[in-house]
A and B are shown apart, each in its own frame.
Chain A
Amino acid sequence: MGLLSDPNRRRALISLLTRLNTPICGMPVEWLMKTMQAKGLEVFTQRFSRTLPFPDENKERYMVRGTNVYGILRAPRAPRTEALVLSAPCSPGDNNNQAVGLLLGLAEYFRNQIYWAKDIIFLVNEHDLIGMQAWLEGYHHTNTTGMDWSPLQGRGGSIQAALSLELSSDIITSLDLVLEGLNGQLPNLDLANLFYAFCQKIGVLCTIQGKLQRNDWDSVSGYSHAVQTMMLMVMKQASGRPWGDHGLFLRYHIEAATIKGVNSFRQYKTDATTIGRLLEGMYRKLNNLLERLHQSYFFYLMPSLSHFVSIGYYMPAFGLLAVILLLRALDLWVQLSTPPQRTEDGVTDIEPVRGTHFKTVADLLSLLTPLVISHLTGVALYMLPIRFQEMAVEHFPVSETEAVVLTAIAVYTAGLALPHNTHRLLSGEGTEQGWRVLKLVAVLYLAVLLGCTALINFSLGFILALTLVPVAAFVTPHVPKVLSAFILVILSPACTLLFSVFFFQELQEMPISFQDGWLLFLSVISQGILDHSLYGSLVYPLITLLVYPCWLLFWNILFWN
């Protein structure tokens, strides 16, 4: 750990940091290139541009154009096969100067060391995630989202691990580790362990989800604190969005995390040098890796930084929920396959002509029609908001973003009102047999859907299972209509999202009024759509194309006559 020991270096770092306190962001590309070059790095730039499908009102951007600057520190006697990345986002208006300064300071310090076995890439990316996406796509020469970027000139082989640094304030009291990435992917748990180990060693306060670890595990308050932390992780993971610049690395099988410096108004202050030592330690450890991080868990939930819940513990919870669906499906199957029972007064419930199997086209149609219609509604929900934004803006006094979100809500609501019972037009009355078959299909559909979702993104699967499974289990045409319809709507995906917004705010100890919550809900929808088109997040298409149609099937069953 030599960063502190040399007073000259320390002074240089501090002077650099004070110079950086004047806002440099807006990316002084020239200056960054010159500075990196002076520190002995190979410096390259990448230009990118991207037009968003509709303006992002949170970040106030629409036509994005920027430049990434990165410098590669070539490891001596290394054949350019492996690399590590340290990145710091730097965008106009954003205050991440401290991180850029620290990055440059570390670059200078790292340059003078001889122990590097992997190239180290120091990346300053503009427009945070968009820049990162452009850089990663350029590095791996893929194009998943249709962004324009100029090809990269210098590379360092396959990237083994990456850290992203965000220091939002001048005074840092604790460091927060962010793990949740795109589509709920998580980096290897060893990366979190590494961070925790070095925080302990250097004596830095470290948090996860902004929550400090407590020692009283067995007390009720300590337990509820841990549950809160874990629920926050579940909510963040379920959202499927990258919660830091690291989130996009995970697609490329690069273990990555974001380290956020937080000013939580504690007495204990951490200076930049200490953070530098922490990063130095982490990079030296990563540098010594012979293999990619793979020994530890990739599926976990963290109630605190030093504890985790592994997949073996949380998956049974989901499994139990899914078993309900399977049992229900079995029950329906048995009901369908037993010959129609005679009731006591000798009248059959079901017309004997129809029998137990699909014998006529009408039977098939009565099953297919709701399936097709609900999926078409889903497709409309997926396509229309972005397609019709211009028309909506012309005809209504709303901005583009509002137009998109309100169209989405309108299509969603319209889906409820659609006359689903079109089968009546084809085959007259809806039969008892008919809704059972439909429900069997819907329940199996939901089980498969939730199972697959939970394997990829456990939190999302679990939250959806919590809300959809009870509905799926109880809904029949014979329950009280109004009450059931109310429950069904309350437990529909959109309402789940609305409640999640409030719940999330509550967990973060920042409760909001209903009005603000509603606005937040709208912005969350727009962010979800943007995440999908900008970074390829799968949550929006999953909800609109699969979950919502599936839910509509149950809605259909409720109103089966």
Chain B
Amino acid sequence: MAAHRCSFSAVLFALWGLSLLTVARGQEATLEGNDRTAVVDNPESVAGAAEQAAGQPAAEDRRWEATAVEEVSPTEAGGGSDSPAPKPAASPPSVPRPKDDFQEELVIRPLHSGDIYTSFQFRTLWETDFTRENKVSHYRLFPKSLGQVISKFSVRELHISFTQGYWRTMQWGQPYLPSPPGAELWVWFQDSLTDVDGTWKELTNVLSGIFCASLNFIDSTNTVQPSASFKPLGIGNVTDHRFLRYATLPREIVCTENLTPWKKLLPCGSKAGLAVLLKSEKLFHSSFHSQAVHIRPVCKDDQCKTTSWELRQTLNVVFDLHNSGQGKNEWSLFKMFSRTLTEACPVASSSKIYIDITDNSQGEQFELSPATPLLSQAVVLGDRRTFSVYDLTQQITFGTMRSLNLLIRGKSSQGDMLRPLLHAERYVAGYGLQTGEIHTLMYNNHPYRSFPVLLLDSVPWYLRLYIHTLTVTSKGKDNKPSYIHYQPSKDRVRPHLLEMLVQLPPNSVTEVTLQFERALLKWTEYTPDPNHGFYVGSSVISSLVPSIVAMDTNNSRERPLFSSFFPSKEESSYFVRVYTEPLLVNLPTPDFSMPYNVICLTCTVVAVGYGSLYNLLTRSFQIEEPSPGLAKRIANIIRKMRGVPPL
């Protein structure tokens, strides 16, 4: 049966690939006709036609395709009833469908280190035009607060993420959606907007209210306009970086108060569907927590004649095996989230749970119960992965207990460290409070292929970078960046921005060093806890990495020979964004107890001085009569004794 399914899926895969190609060709033609997008990297991709460097979302869209096709077939083969749920991209355009659509999914991936990675994705699509004159007033699935933000601030694309913790690439591999520690916000505005900076300021304040976060601390001193690293992920032909704003707040602490408003944006809230699992005390009892909101315009259909807005809410959590595992490597939905699933969100057109079983084809790594017959394959991050699929819209998924509690019983744990193809780290070198050196290490672990990476560094002004000390070395040799975009800082106005395109030789470590001097701040500019140090946000490394699938040219399993000679474009490389750790830098800090002492001392002096002066000014002076003579006093005493008034 397994062999049969295997070959069956292979045929299906080939068929799907062919159909995809034809679709893409048609689409390419439309694009060239309609859009003036100059560079189209992935003409094959269905949804994100104009993505320049964003291979990853494209890959996910493809996965949706693959899932849709494949998942129908085995159920049909098994004779089960197929749900007529509308598939946004694959369903024929003739079927009438609502203008908005909601999908939810949960991906669970047992990680190499024995931890569990769970990734929620909620996608709301709405075919509307926020930019037209008469305001959109009727909201169904799309959250009104965000819709108003889009129309009021002429937002073309908005990406915001809140992350608590650092993604451990060496242990966990690449995440589905990377994000830096703290808060990150980047927005593409419509090109019709005139006052971008003012709008940006307002927008951050509004978002700060919506997400209960300190985004209002974003100002010109931590906002940059990257020229190459952040390209629009949706459709659109604006690549002028004057309309882009990027800011990070590495210090932002993410907690329940950020999660609750995020959950409220979902159509079902946390009442039904996958969102039931989002219980904050469990989500924050983890090694990594990241929540994000991405808004972008996407093609509504294959022809891309109309656009619709996509709101994608993602939540990524890594649960620690050690902390609550009690030594047993056993996981269940209940154990992770202290909830089980009983239903899909009623308004969701699709509601699925995927479990990555790629390393577990024979069940050697873990056991999964209840088992599911549905399988799906997708190329994620350059690697072909297999997933078990649980469709929550099917009653049969919940079984007789009417609740779904997935159980993963692991058999091994604690592997060695991974060697991801691209990873990076950063640290401050040197000692003392005068100067220092920022080292950024980028590892290319590909055995034979070099690839270029875009490095983006945004450093606050109070670290005065000596740009002439910039060195880039790989394998002990000078590595000259082919593109450098540097914007020097202005004190108290804007940060340094350094973008470089560096070619990483195969199997190498590339080190970027840059010396800086620590500025002495004005005394009101210090934070309330200056001895904690000052944060420098993560560097962003964006790259198209040669994929693992393209690497094994030798191994042509599941693929016909004729298809595997030239590496196909769609799989040859994939987009990866890697964030380094933020830095904590100590600046020369005065002893703030000294002003306190001075204040105390001056207050005392002033009090004494002022007190005596005030005393002098307000006291009425009288001339005291000279004291009476001794005889008079004695006489008075006698008179007093006699009861006669004194003299």
Which residues on A are within 8 Å of B, measured CB to CB?
37-38, 40, 42, 74, 76-82, 111-114, 140-142, 154-155, 157-158, 251-253, 290-292, 294-295
Contacts and interface: CB of A to CB of B under 8 A. Distances in A.
Interface string B314-325: 000000101100
17 contacts: A40-B322, A42-B417, A76-B287, A77-B165, A77-B284, A77-B286, A81-B533, A81-B581, A112-B323, A113-B323, A140-B429, A140-B431, A157-B584, A158-B533, A158-B586, A291-B529, A292-B532
Contacts of A40: 322, 414
Given A82-B584, A111-B322, A252 B431 contact: yes
Interface string B573-603: 0000000011111100100010000000000
- 10 smallest A-B Cβ distances: which pairs? A79-B181, A141-B429, A291-B531, A77-B165, A81-B584, A80-B581, A77-B164, A291-B532, A76-B287, A294-B531
Nearest to B579: A79
Contacts of A111: 322
Contacts of B343: none
A154 B593 CA distance: 37
A412 B234 CA distance: 79
Interface string B160-194: 00001110101100000000011000000000000
Contact of A81 (B289, B433, B535): B535
B414 A37 contact: yes
B580 to A, nearest CB: 9
Nearest to A289: B532
Given A42-B171, A80-B581, A158-B584, A74 B535 contact: no
Contacts of A252: 431
B286 A38 contact: no
A37, A78, A81, A295: residue with the most chain B Cβ atoms closer than 10 Å: A81
A114 to B, nearest CB: 5
Contacts of B320: 76
Contacts of B285: 114
B323 A76 contact: yes
Interface residues of B, number: 45
B107 interface: no
A114 B584 contact: no
Contacts of A141: 427, 429-430, 437, 439
Interface in B429-470: 429-433, 437, 439
A77, A113, A114, A142: residue with the most chain B Cβ atoms closer than 10 Å: A77
Nearest to B250: A79
Contacts of B425: 155
Given A74-B287, A78-B166, A294-B531, A142 B430 contact: yes
Nearest to A291: B531
B166 A79 contact: yes
A295 B531 CA distance: 10
A112 B324 CA distance: 8
Contacts of A78: 165-166
B331 interface: no
B416 to A, nearest CB: 8
B262 interface: no
A79 B165 contact: yes
A80, A82, A155, A292: residue with the most chain B Cβ atoms closer than 10 Å: A80
Given A42-B417, A74-B287, A142 B531 contact: no
B247 to A, nearest CB: 17
B286 A76 contact: yes
Interface string B277-307: 0000000111111000000000000000000
B428 interface: yes
Contact of B586 (A76, A80, A140, A292): A292
Contacts of B181: 79-80
A296 to B, nearest CB: 11
A193 B581 CA distance: 33
A44 to B, nearest CB: 9
Contacts of A113: 323
B165 A292 contact: no
Contacts of B428: 158
Given A42-B170, A295-B593, 10 more contacts: A42-B171, A76-B323, A78-B165, A79-B181, A79-B182, A80-B181, A81-B535, A253-B433, A292-B532, A292-B586
Contacts of B427: 141, 155, 157
Contact of A80 (B166, B286, B414, B437): B166
B260 to A, nearest CB: 18
A374 B171 CA distance: 61
A142 B515 CA distance: 13
Contacts of A76: 165, 286-288, 320, 323
B510 to A, nearest CB: 13
Nearest to B321: A40
B182, B531, B582: residue with the most chain A Cβ atoms closer than 10 Å: B531
Nearest to A43: B417
Given A112-B322, A114-B323, A141-B429, A292 B531 contact: yes
A523 to B, nearest CB: 30
A230 to B, nearest CB: 26
B617 to A, nearest CB: 38
Nearest to A295: B593
Nearest to A83: B584
Contacts of A290: 529, 532
A141 B514 CA distance: 13
A107 to B, nearest CB: 12
A251 to B, nearest CB: 6
Interface in B122-145: none
A82 B581 CA distance: 11
Contacts of A142: 429-431
